[in-house]
Structure 1
Amino acid sequence: MSLISTVLSTIESKLPFELFVGLRYTKAKRKNHFISFISLTSMVGIALGVAALIVVLSVMNGFQAELRNRILGVASHLEITGANNQLSDWPALASQVKANPKVKASAPYVMAQGMLSYGQGVQGAIVRGVLPKLEDGVADLGRHMKVGSLDDLRAGEFNIVLGTDLAQLLGVGVGEKVVLMAPQGQFTPTGVVPRIKQFRVVGLFQIGMYEYDAGLALIHIDDASKLYRMGNNVSGLRLKLDDLFDAPAMSYQLTQDLSKDGASSYFVTDWTQQHANFFKAVQLEKRVMFIILTLIVAVAAFNIVSTLVMAVTDKRADVAIMRTFGASPGSIMRIFIVQGALIGMIGTVLGAASGVLIALNIDTIVPFIERVFQVQFLAKDVYYISDLPSKVEWSDVSTIIVMSFVLSLLATLYPSYKASKINPAEALRYE
């Protein structure tokens, strides 16, 4: 212990005057224990606020990433459609866009509305015609299959894959047949009647989003073309990029490239446009939570004001003596800034370390709490996401650390300024 004390004393002796005295004041035992209690409270408050910010933002990032992955399990990064929702020569267009190195895969699709019926159940749905061998390249629907496979969709066999909720609403199971009615009618001697075709259910998928699980049906693209009389045309082309966050820039670039070739009838949309309201709402919620939790850190940081005001009062005689020995008002001010900043820095570091540790292990901590207290935060029969996801964004962590430290520094300015204005003669008059 004596060796450690000697080393610390040697290090402190080589520090600048203001830093040396500020560190001494922070470590020194105080006659007034209330000041030490306020300092500890401020430190703990900052640590709790920083940890809460990191954990909450990490959980929100986790939810955002999980929902984005589920959406992109069905939706594609980019979609190219033509006039009247039809493309006439999709293979040539696919070859053209795949020349771009950022495009990993492409797949055609036919999209239309239909009415499904089974027994007494009738449900409207979006019917998507797909090529199974290409569809897995642009979406992750294959890994969300609960029963069957997309490969069971074969041309001419009129098979269909339903979302689990849609199958439940209809009361249909795998192997049974449903009737699909297309809204486009056909003329008969008795009038216009809708086109009707029986399809056999060969698979069920579950994305985890009601919009898709209760409203989407998949059939082979050839069967869709026959049912909706599209001939060799398709509704559009779905693309997958090597980086999904490049989708907006790629959408603009492809629009420009296709316009140069005189193909002005092409329309390119990306996944951020198709689900813009959802992602804007999530981002807004994240910002609001950041502001609310920042107030916790601010309250704890500004407790430093109380600590330093009392410390300045307690050290008036010391300040006066240092002034008589030639210390400038700026030096006195920096001494107390060091003292307050050190409180903020220790609280910030402890909070950041504990927050990151909790966020990285939340998949272990939450189940442990659920087992101990016999509760379930996200019930499987209510929420699609039954596990609490977490994703630590280091940019968020660094922003929180900088914000906390800046608030701590701001809290030191007023007490430090008051200390620098102490009149040595007045302070020593009654000592």
Structure 2
Amino acid sequence: MNFPLYIAQRYLRSKSSNNAINFITIIAAVGVILGAASLFIVLSGFSGLKDFTLKFSTIIDPDLKAVPATGKSFMLSDKQFKALHDLDAIASYSKIIEERVILAYDGKNFPAFIKGVDENYNQVNAIDSVIIQGSWLNQNTNQMVAGWGVSNHLSLGVLDYGKSVTIYVPKPGTGQITSTKSAFNAIHCVNIGLFDVNETLNETYVYTPFEMSRELLSYKPNQVSAIEFKMNPNIDEDIIKSQLKAILGDTVIIKNRVQLNDALYKMLNTENLAVYLIFTLVLIIALFNVIGSIVMMILDKKKTLSTLYKLGASVRDIRRIFFYQGSLMAVFGGIAGLIIGLVIVGLQQAFSLVMITPSLPYPVAINFSNVIIVLLTISILGIIASKIASVRISKSLIETI
């Protein structure tokens, strides 16, 4: 067995004759354990929040979406639509028309985006799961489904046939506006449902039938704002993207779900990184206790170290003893803290110990990546702290005894 490692294990398990040193060692070990447990719990909490946040936005986000490379819309030929229909990798696709509009209802106005969708839309996205009142659209009708936030701003109900919603959109073209009527296209429709996804989307979108949106915006038959795709399972995304690019050409950009929520992903990842760095700083402070514990142990074992030196152990071997001792303390403390963190996170998942609201438990998620991050962080910092402490041993220190 490695001689320095064997002695380090003995020192780690044995008590010192000095109670103060034992107390400092216990504090150092507890600090490492609690630091590792705290880091894992916080990372698990942010993973849960990330999954919870993205769960709602991804309900209405497709697997892939073709958007214009420039402008607001693009044209597709019947041949291109047939090629899309014949793609085995695509389970379904939906044509989309999107535009910013003004909604007018009962004397109130509110800016929003209409999203004109065809009959295949509910096969591409699980829109039915977020309809909280009313029903989904019927094609070839003047109907709409509004977000909960839009409904609140307009005091808009469901199936109120006595009061219709008027949707205004500026007419395309150039030149001076001579009258309000000539400047806008307008269409009247009835709200038949409400959806609830998240605050931003609830106050942004209303869904309308595809043909109604095409008529409102004066789009040509094959003109669309986007096409949303649902992939068949176990299909490589890069392959599908290349196939779609070959069909649709350079006039479109193909985006996946992550790219569609690029700003949201960046915000969540930045917050996660900031919290990780803060708790890593807490761990660094806790590991100063490990340095202090090792230094105190060196001073307590001066006579033993002198004996080992006279028996043939080199200064390097003696340094390695305390380097291994500190490293083992950090690693074992990290593992113990990780186990405690796993238990606490598991209890939160099973019994909802911490609640955000009376009906909503704080979301947590156990990710293997977080386990690796905690172990690597505590191990690297522990090794650095042990190295700093062990270099205090010198030949002059040993020979002064």
Q: Do the two structures share a fold, i.e. TM-score over 0.5?
A: yes
- Following superposition, the deviation at residue 119 of structure 1 comes to 1.1
Q: Is 1:336–1:416's contact at 8 Å kept on the other side of the alignment?
A: yes
- Following superposition, the deviation at residue 316 of structure 1 comes to 0.8
Aligned residue identity for 2:148: T
Q: Is 1:258–1:266's contact at 8 Å kept on the other side of the alignment?
A: no
**Which stretch shifts more, 80-89 or 353-362?**
80-89
Q: In the alignment, which of 120, 130, 133 is matched to residue 117 of structure 2? A: 130
Q: Is 2:353–2:361's contact at 8 Å kept on the other side of the alignment?
A: no
Distance in 2 separating the partners of 1:135 and 1:191: 33
Aligned residue identity for 2:246: D
| Residue aligned with 2:145, SS | strand
Normalising by structure 2, we get a TM-score of 0.87
| Residue aligned with 2:182, SS | strand
1:214 aligns with 2:206: no
Equivalent residue pairs, number: 393
1:80 aligns with 2:66: yes
| Residue aligned with 2:392, SS | helix
Distance in 2 separating the partners of 1:211 and 1:40: 50
- Following superposition, the deviation at residue 245 of structure 1 comes to 12
Aligned residue identity for 2:80: L
The change in CA–CA distance for 1:20 and 1:98 in structure 2 (over 3 A counts) is: farther
Q: Is 1:94–1:106's contact at 8 Å kept on the other side of the alignment?
A: no
Aligned pairs (5 A) from 1:18-97: 18-82=4-68, 85-89=72-76, 92-97=79-84
1:157 aligns with 2:146: no
Aligned residue identity for 2:197: I
Q: Is 2:146–2:205's contact at 8 Å kept on the other side of the alignment?
A: yes
- Following superposition, the deviation at residue 80 of structure 1 comes to 1.9
Q: Which runs of 5+ in 1 are unaligned?
A: 1-14, 371-376, 381-385
| Residue aligned with 1:407, SS | helix
- Following superposition, the deviation at residue 90 of structure 1 comes to 6.4
2:102 match:
115
Q: Deviations over 1:263-289 (max 9, x none)?
A: 333343444444333322221121111
1:201 match:
191
**Which stretch shifts more, 298-307 or 276-285?**
276-285
**Root mean square deviation of aligned Cα:** 3.1
| Residue aligned with 1:85, SS | coil
Q: Is 1:78–1:251's contact at 8 Å kept on the other side of the alignment?
A: no
Distance in 2 separating the partners of 1:161 and 1:369: 35
The change in CA–CA distance for 1:425 and 1:127 in structure 2 (over 3 A counts) is: closer
The change in CA–CA distance for 1:28 and 1:390 in structure 2 (over 3 A counts) is: same
Q: Is 1:321–1:424's contact at 8 Å kept on the other side of the alignment?
A: no
The change in CA–CA distance for 1:75 and 1:33 in structure 2 (over 3 A counts) is: same
| Residue aligned with 2:157, SS | coil
1:373 match:
none
Distance in 1 separating the partners of 2:399 and 2:285: 36
The change in CA–CA distance for 1:94 and 1:299 in structure 2 (over 3 A counts) is: farther
Distance in 2 separating the partners of 1:80 and 1:414: 55
Normalising by structure 1, we get a TM-score of 0.81
Distance in 1 separating the partners of 2:180 and 2:268: 52
| Residue aligned with 2:165, SS | strand
The change in CA–CA distance for 1:94 and 1:53 in structure 2 (over 3 A counts) is: farther
Q: In the alignment, which of 380, 383, 391 is matched to residue 365 of structure 2? A: 391
- Following superposition, the deviation at residue 423 of structure 1 comes to 5.6
